[in-house]
Amino acid sequence: MPIDINRLAQAERFQPPGHHNVGPVHLFGGEQYDGAVTVALSHYLPGGRADMAPVPVETLYLVLTGSLTLADSDGGVHVLDAMDTARLTAGTCRSVENRTNLAASMLVIRPNPASPSFNTSEVRS
């Protein structure tokens, strides 16, 4: 099986709904991508945010640089610093915000619903 290489310079930019002053790129993902897992790199400018919304599938966050505030619909607030991680189960409502004066970067890793190996029974509505 070949190794699939994706160069950052060729990464596909995209704009997810409800994201403001966030610059995400697909490292692995996008419309034509059929791999089992997607990986996005999101850059949050100071004040950048993702509105409170449910994640569609289990999602892993890995903060690479800076600090991001993750809030849940129950009022929980968690500050994630560089190399901190968070796991969100499918359907978890969350918001993400950069409340600092420095940019922050985060990897977003999740199963790919377009993958032939994706199990739709694991997705909550």
Q: Do residues 41 and 105 touch, judged by C-beta distance below 8 A?
A: yes
Instruction: Kindly report, residue by residue over 25-39, the tens digit of the pLDDT.
Output: 999 998 888 899 999
**pLDDT by residue (tens digit) across 15-28?**
999 999 999 999 99
Residues in contact with 21: Cβ distance below 8 Å, sequence separation at least 6, in sequence order: 44, 45, 47, 48, 49
Q: What is the pLDDT of the chain when averaged over all its residues? A: 92
User: In this predicted structure, what is the pLDDT of residue 125?
Assistant: 41
What is the CATH architecture of 24-112?
Answer: Sandwich (2.60)
The parts of the chain modelled with pLDDT lower than 70 are 1, 119-125
Where in the chain are the domains? 24-112
Q: How far is CA 89 from the centre of its chain?
A: 13
Residues 114-123: tens digit of each pLDDT? 787 776 555 5
Return the pLDDT at 99: 98
pTM attached to this predicted model:
0.89
- Identify the sign of the CA torsion 100, 101, 102, 104: positive
